[in-house]
Amino acid sequence: MSKMIRYFLLTYITIALFGCSHFCGNNNDVLFQTSTFNALLEGVYDGETSFHDLKHHGNFGIGTFEGLDGEMIELNGNFYQVKSDGKVYSVNDSMKTPFAVVTSFEPDKTLSLDKPMNYSQLTQYLDNLLPTKSIFYAIKIEGKGKYVKTRSVPKQNKPYPRLVEVVKNQPTFEFNDVEGTIVGFWCPKYVEGINVPGYHFHFITKDKKSGGHLLDCQLENAKIEIDYTSRFYMILPEGGEFHKANLSGDKQGEMNKVEK
Indicate the CATH number of 109-229 among 3.40.50.720, 3.40.50.300, 3.50.50.60, 3.30.1330.80: 3.30.1330.80
Burial of residue 231, with CB atoms counted within 10 A of its CB: 0-12 exposed, 13-18 middle, 19 or more buried: middle
- The residues, any chain, with a CB within 8 Å of residue 53's CB and separated by 6 or more, are 7
Compute and round to an integer the Cα radius of gyration of the chain: 18
| Separation between Cα atoms, residue 214 and residue 206, nearest integer Å | 15
| Separation between Cα atoms, residue 59 and residue 86, nearest integer Å | 23
Q: What are the extents of the domains in the chain?
A: 3-103, 109-229
Contact 145, 180 (CB under 8 A): yes
pLDDT in single tens digits along all 260 residues of the chain: 444 444 444 444 444 444 444 444 445 789 999 999 999 999 999 999 999 999 999 999 999 999 999 999 999 999 999 999 999 999 999 999 999 999 999 999 999 998 999 999 999 999 999 999 999 999 999 999 999 999 999 999 999 999 999 999 899 999 999 999 999 999 999 999 999 999 999 999 999 999 999 999 999 999 999 999 999 999 999 989 999 998 887 777 887 878 87
Contact 176, 147 (CB under 8 A): yes
- Residues forming beta bridges with residue 75, ordered by sequence position: 78
| Largest Cα–Cα separation, the chain | 55
Amino acid at 98: P
Assigned architecture for domain 3-103: 2-Layer Sandwich (3.30)
Contact 50, 43 (CB under 8 A): no
